[in-house]
Structure 1
Amino acid sequence: MSDWDTTTVIGRNTRGGQSGGGGGARQGPTAYERAKAVGAITENDRKVAAGTNKAHSGVDHAHLAKLDRENEVAPPAKVAPSVGKAIAQSRQEKGLTQKDLGTKINEKPQVIAEYESGKAIPNPAILAKLERALGVKLRGKDIGAPLGGPKKS
């Protein structure tokens, strides 16, 4: 038989595996199959969160966050109601909406609403921007008093 008489097949399942058999036969059970055989995992354990953006499917993050909050000594302080009233009053006196004020200080209108309602956790940088935009004191003593200019010596 010459080289011209042999047939060469190119494509799938043409090479033999390590066992010498043809057709790409598997060598044995996979790790998943072995774990399933000994009862280490059940059918439902495989790829539960496949294709989702959930890192840990079996962990309840809301529950963990609640546990973390229970361990805190005190919840973070909120803006004092007097600060919220001072912001709302001076904003209305200047004829600004929450959206206008937010745009003026580069914050979302939602942030202004949270400060006015007293739900926000105070941020000194935001309070300073609000003080400059509204011209009233929002920190320290005399909340709501007009903001003085630079001190004269």
Structure 2
Amino acid sequence: MSDWDSVTVLRKRDPGKAKVTRTDAEINAARRAGVAIATDKKSTLTNSSHADTDHRRIAKLDRDNDVAPPPRVDVSVGKAIQKGRQDKTMTQKDLAQVINEKPQVVNEYESGKAIPNQNVLGKMERALGIKLRGKNIGDPLTFGGKKK
């Protein structure tokens, strides 16, 4: 038992004369003699509330130093998706099936809560036939000067 952090106190009949030991041999001898043994663990922390305060302060610093949250889809894009979907008489579920995404994804894009993904926007553009990226959002999608 070569643990630096623990102290074993061997007590004989007189509680005023306690002996401190750190070896296994002395502890085993005391057990054989039937002496009361008490083991105390010493802590290296002097003030636990101080350590707790440090953790709270560090956590606050981490929250304050967070980078800007990722941009969300613009509201105009969401309205364009909704208008294009309604022009084709599609529900959010129908559009999700066409672009092979979950209906929740379509809902998030329409409400402006989604983080833009160029692949998803491209699939929506092709399915709805309208522009959702760049300038002129909501205009008909054209390929080489021709409308699709």
CA change 1:104–1:149 in 2 (3 A) is same
TM-score after normalising by structure 2: 0.57
In the other structure, the counterpart of 2:137 is: 143
How many angstroms does 1:73 deviate by?
3.0
| CA distance in structure 2 between the aligned counterparts of 1:107 and 1:40, rounded to whole angstroms | 58
| CA distance in structure 1 between the aligned counterparts of 2:63 and 2:125, rounded to whole angstroms | 32
Residue of structure 2 aligned with 1:121, choices 115, 120, 129 = 115
Residue of structure 1 aligned with 2:41, choices 26, 39, 42 = 39
CA change 1:97–1:68 in 2 (3 A) is farther
1:74 aligned to 2:68?
A: yes
Residue of structure 2 aligned with 1:107, choices 101, 113, 122 = 101
In the other structure, the counterpart of 1:131 is: 125
How far does the alpha carbon of each residue in 1:43-86 deviate from its partner, in whole angstroms, 9 at most, with x for none?
A: xxxxxxxxxxxxxxxxxxxxx7x875542231110000000000
CA change 1:72–1:147 in 2 (3 A) is same
Gaps of 5+ in 1: 1-36, 42-63
In the other structure, the counterpart of 1:83 is: 77
How many angstroms does 1:104 deviate by?
0.4
SS in 2 for 1:95: coil
Letter paired with 2:111:
S
| CA distance in structure 2 between the aligned counterparts of 1:40 and 1:137, rounded to whole angstroms | 69
SS in 1 for 2:41: coil
SS in 1 for 2:132: coil
Higher helix proportion (structure 1 or 2): 2
How far does the alpha carbon of each residue in 1:15-57 deviate from its partner, in whole angstroms, 9 at most, with x for none?
A: xxxxxxxxxxxxxxxxxxxxxx44379xxxxxxxxxxxxxxxx
Residue-pair matches, total: 94
CA change 1:38–1:113 in 2 (3 A) is same
Query: Following superposition, which runs of at least 4 residues in structure 1 exceed 6 angstroms of deviation?
Result: none
Alignment RMSD: 2.4
Letter paired with 1:128:
G
CA change 1:71–1:91 in 2 (3 A) is same
Gaps of 5+ in 2: 1-38, 44-58
Identity %: 62
Higher strand proportion (structure 1 or 2): 2
TM-score after normalising by structure 1: 0.55
